Amino acid sequence: MRGTVDKALSRLTRQDALAAHWSFDDKNEKVAKDVTGHGNDGEIKGCTVVEGKVGKALRFGKGAFVELGHPSALTIAGKPFTVMAWVKSDAPSGVVVARGGAFCGYSLHLKDGIPRFGIRQARDGPAPIAAGTEKAVGDWVHLAGVVRSDCIEVYVNGKLAGTAKSAGLFGGNCGQGMEIGCDAGNSAVEVMDQFEGIIDEVKQFDAALSEKEIARQCRSPE
């Protein structure tokens, strides 16, 4: 009984930490609605609504992305956080979710088919990258990037796939904006290719989720 209660409390706590969720289920090709009600809506540019992993999703290609600007509710300064999405990629390289630029930012992306999550926290500073080991192109894959106090991690289908040491949490919010499906302006890390394929159920949590919590999100994607 206690174990059931603990699991329920953990799930509730993490849902409280859910800062943004773009489900794309409303079939809108103009506005990407943040269904948490926190107001982090984005402008859809060139994407089309298609069948997704859960309900509807957006198909991305050349010139197609979601522009989120500088969402005030999604502060990353001084706090751990997690970003995640379901993706079905048609190309080996492409940005899934990115924020910021060459002096400050992060990127969850594919490079040569390998899932990767990278950050940059200072001008001319290091850009640690956590990378998986297996290619993830052509099928539905759940990707997650986590920023912790001393490292970053990338997860594939609910399992830890790579980790890298970091200098700590972000000291401030990044100047450049946030996008789904591309990294506009200067890239924070190594990839600027636009995503080609389908993206669904994009989420950001104001917490560094554990492997079990990410696996739960993978099993219950809504």
Q: In CATH, what is the architecture of 2-219?
A: Sandwich (2.60)
Q: What is the pTM of this model?
A: 0.91
Extended beta strands in the chain, E state: 18-22, 31-32, 42-45, 48-51, 56-60, 65-69, 81-89, 94-100, 105-111, 114-120, 129-131, 141-147, 151-156, 159-165, 178-180, 197-205
Q: Give domain limits for the chain.
A: 2-219
Q: What pLDDT score was predicted for residue 222? A: 66
Burial 85-123 (b: 16+ CB within 10 A, else e): bbbbbebbbbbbbbbbbebbbbbbbbbeebbbbbbbbee
Give the pLDDT of the chain (222 residues) as one tens digit per residue.
434 433 443 454 467 899 999 999 999 999 999 999 999 999 999 999 999 999 999 999 999 999 999 887 888 889 999 999 999 999 999 999 999 888 889 999 999 999 999 998 876 667 899 999 999 999 999 999 999 999 999 999 999 999 999 988 988 888 789 999 999 877 778 878 999 999 999 999 999 999 999 999 998 866
